[in-house]
Amino acid sequence: MQRTAIIRICVLAFLALLAWWGWLKVRGDDAMTFVYVIAVGAAAGFLVVKYVVPWFGDAVGTALFSSGEMVGEDASMKAAAKLAQGDYEGAIAEHEKSLAENPAQVFPVGEIAKICADKLNDPARALRVLRERLAGQEWKEDDAAFLRFRMVDIQLEKLRDYAAAKTLLEGIIQDYPDSRHRANAYHRVNEVEQMEMKEAMSRRGQSPA
């Protein structure tokens, strides 16, 4: 962004110098001065509409919105550093700081749940985090579905609770009847049923005759 701004400033400065040089050339000739002023005015208007106004809009947008994005990115990088150091609670704390700034972020919630389930071996805590965050505010449909599917993953991969996973998937099917999430949930239900069948057959094969 800074490099682009510098280039734009240099171009504008060059054009200003060029306009001044042209003015020195036609100064004293009334007819040429009139034509020159009209031409420069038209060119200046074009440049303002084409470049200066969008540039100003970008600058205002950056001033209004970039601070929150920088906070989120900074917290995410700090959390990644803590995670690499093995400081799992510290990583969770960094993600929670990010959520305190903007509770509508889905990524930090998913990361907290992942750390709890994978690194701390505490799937119950991971599920609690997801439930509390889901209930705590209104989410966009895609974000809410992401968090609910994350709960399904934990039930299957960590707890092997097929019944709970199917209940969650049936809730997704019911709540998102006209979306791709419904189709994904149906597909996952079939996967869960196949996993149940394989496990039942495995137990049957291991049981004494």
Domain boundaries, the chain: 122-203
Per-residue pLDDT at 161? 97
Considering only residues 89 and 26, tell me which one the structure prediction assigns the higher pLDDT: 89
Half-sphere exposure of 81 (CA within 13 A, CB side): 7
Alpha carbon 44 to its chain centroid, in Å, reads 39
Q: What is the mean pLDDT of residues 186-196?
A: 95
Name the more confident of 90 and 50: 90
What pLDDT score was predicted for residue 61? 45
**What pTM was estimated for this model as a whole?**
0.64
Using alpha carbons only, how large is the chain's radius of gyration in Å? 30
CA-based nearest residue to 106, from 133, 143, 74, 54: 143
Helix (H, G, I), strand (E, B) or coil at 157: helix
